[in-house]
Amino acid sequence: MTALLEIRDLKAEVAGRQILNGLSLTVNKGEIHAIMGPNGAGKSTLSYVLAGKPGYEITGGEVLLNGEDLFAMAADERAAKGLFLAFQYPLEIPGVATLTFLRAALNAQRRKRGEEELSSPDLMKRVRELSKKLGIDPDMLRRPLNVGFSGGEKKRNETLQMALLEPLLCVLDETDSGLDIDALKVVANGVNQLRAPERGMIVITHYQRLLDYIVPDVVHVLAAGRIVETGGKDLALQLEATGYAQYQGEAA
């Protein structure tokens, strides 16, 4: 069976500095992988490289998404093929209503996949259903995207986008950052509803806390641009106790 995501010996630079140093990782359909690691280890860099953010140069290795060469696809194609990145700091777009953004994103993806666009009434219906399911105030749909949203609202909005776009691979970068425990529970609950046999997830976090609510199948430690340890969900608990100091020495 083809893995959903296959990362082999990935090396990448940003601003002339090598950040990823031969990173390998396999995610199968239906699995949730947690990536933990100290600040500056390269966790966000990995998510941006996968998503195709400009400014990141691939200097080695390869990545296959459902068996296809990821780096042969433009960033928007990757999205249309089912790659979704939940941003650590979701961006604001003044003057663009959340619903307008959702419509633009979904229909752009559908066009790219050669599917018919969703009509406005159908979209409205679908978005309303999902909002209800995720505990999102429908009023948010009319507000300009992320403008003046609280940290919790922003992350809930990312979850809503994810639910609507139905990606195959979700990469969640520090979804827990800036959330109090109640907001964290709501967002985690949303993410858990999106668990599906066809879908894989990579949950990036610095703290173990999130993993109490989104329980992973596999836990990896990323340090100095490589996966340095892999284990079950108790690895997270172990890290909580020991910290990352033991990995800080891992050289590039």
Partner 1 sequence: MAAVQETIEQVRRIDVEQYKYGFVTDVESDKAPKGLSEDIVRFISQKKNEPEWMLEWRLEAYRRWLTMREPDWARVNYPKIDYQDLYYYAAPKKKKELASLDEVDPEILKTYEKLGIPLREQELLAGVVRPEGERRIAVDAVFDSVSVATTFQKELKDAGVIFMPISEALREYPELVRKYLGSVVPASDNYFATLNSAVFSDGSFVYVPEGVRCPMELSTYFRINEKNTGQFERTLIIADKGAYVSYLEGCTAPQRDENQLHAAVVELVAMDDAEIKYSTVQNWYPGNAEGVGGIYNFVTKRGDCRGDNSKISWTQVETGSAITWKYPSCILRGDNSSGEFYSIAISNGHQQVDSGTKMIHLGKNTSSRIVSKGISAGRSQNTYRGLVSAHRKAKGARNFTACDSLLIGDQCGAHTVPYMEAKNPTAVFEHEATTSKISEDVLFYCVQRGLSQEEAVGLVVNGFVKDVLQQLPMEFAVEAQKLISISLEGSVG
Shortest spacing between CB 160 and ligand ADP, in angstroms? 24
User: Which distant-in-sequence residues (6+ apart) come within 8 Å of 9 by Cβ?
Assistant: 22, 23, 24, 60, 61, 62
User: Are the C-beta atoms of residues 226 and 22 closer than 8 Å to each other?
Assistant: yes
Q: How many residues contact ligand ADP, by CB under 6 A? A: 12
Q: Considering only 1-9, 106-114, 124-132, 198-206, which stretch makes contact with partner 1 by CB under 8 A? A: 106-114
Pick one of Mg ion, ligand ADP, partner 1, none as the site partner of residue 54 (Cβ within 5 to 8 A by kind): partner 1
How far apart, in whole angstroms, are the C-alpha atoms of residue 113 and residue 57? 27
One-letter identity of residue 194? L
For partner 1, the closer CB: 36 or 170: 170
Does 45 engage in binding with ligand ADP (CB under 6 A)? yes
User: Are the C-beta atoms of residues 61 and 11 closer than 8 Å to each other?
Assistant: yes
Does 58 engage in binding with partner 1 (CB under 8 A)? no
Pick one of ligand ADP, Mg ion, partner 1, none as the site partner of residue 101 (Cβ within 5 to 8 A by kind): partner 1
**Residue 51: both structure tokens together:** 């998503």
State the binding string over 12-41 for ligand ADP (x if CB under 6 A, else -): --xx-x-x-----------------x-xxx
**C-alpha distances out from residue 183 to 53, 98, 127, 177, 213, Å:** 28, 20, 21, 11, 12
Torsion angle, alpha carbons of 52, 32, 23, 81, to 10:
-30
List the one residue from 36, 42, 52, 130 that touches ligand ADP (CB under 6 A): 42
Does 16 engage in binding with partner 1 (CB under 8 A)? no
The residue whose Cβ lies closest to Mg ion is 44
Does 194 engage in binding with partner 1 (CB under 8 A)? no
Of the candidates 96, 91, 99, 102, the one whose C-alpha atom is nearest the C-alpha of residue 144 is 96
Q: Sheet of 5-14: strands edge to edge?
A: 17-27, 5-14, 56-65, 68-69
Shortest spacing between CB 116 and Mg ion, in angstroms? 38
Interface ranges with Mg ion (CB under 5 A): 43-44
Length, in residues, of the chain: 252
User: Are the C-beta atoms of residues 181 and 151 closer than 8 Å to each other?
Assistant: no
What is the chain's Cα-based Rg? 18
Pick one of partner 1, ligand ADP, Mg ion, none as the site partner of residue 45 (Cβ within 5 to 8 A by kind): ligand ADP
What three-state secondary structure class fits 181?
helix
Q: Considering only 42-50, 68-76, 128-136, 209-217, which stretch makes contact with ligand ADP by CB under 6 A? A: 42-50
**Residue 234: both structure tokens together:** 């108790």
Shortest spacing between CB 228 and ligand ADP, in angstroms? 13
Binding site for ligand ADP (CB under 6 A): 14-15, 17, 19, 37, 39-45
Binding site for partner 1 (CB under 8 A): 51-55, 75-76, 79-80, 84-85, 87, 90-96, 100-101, 104-106, 108-109, 112, 144, 161, 165
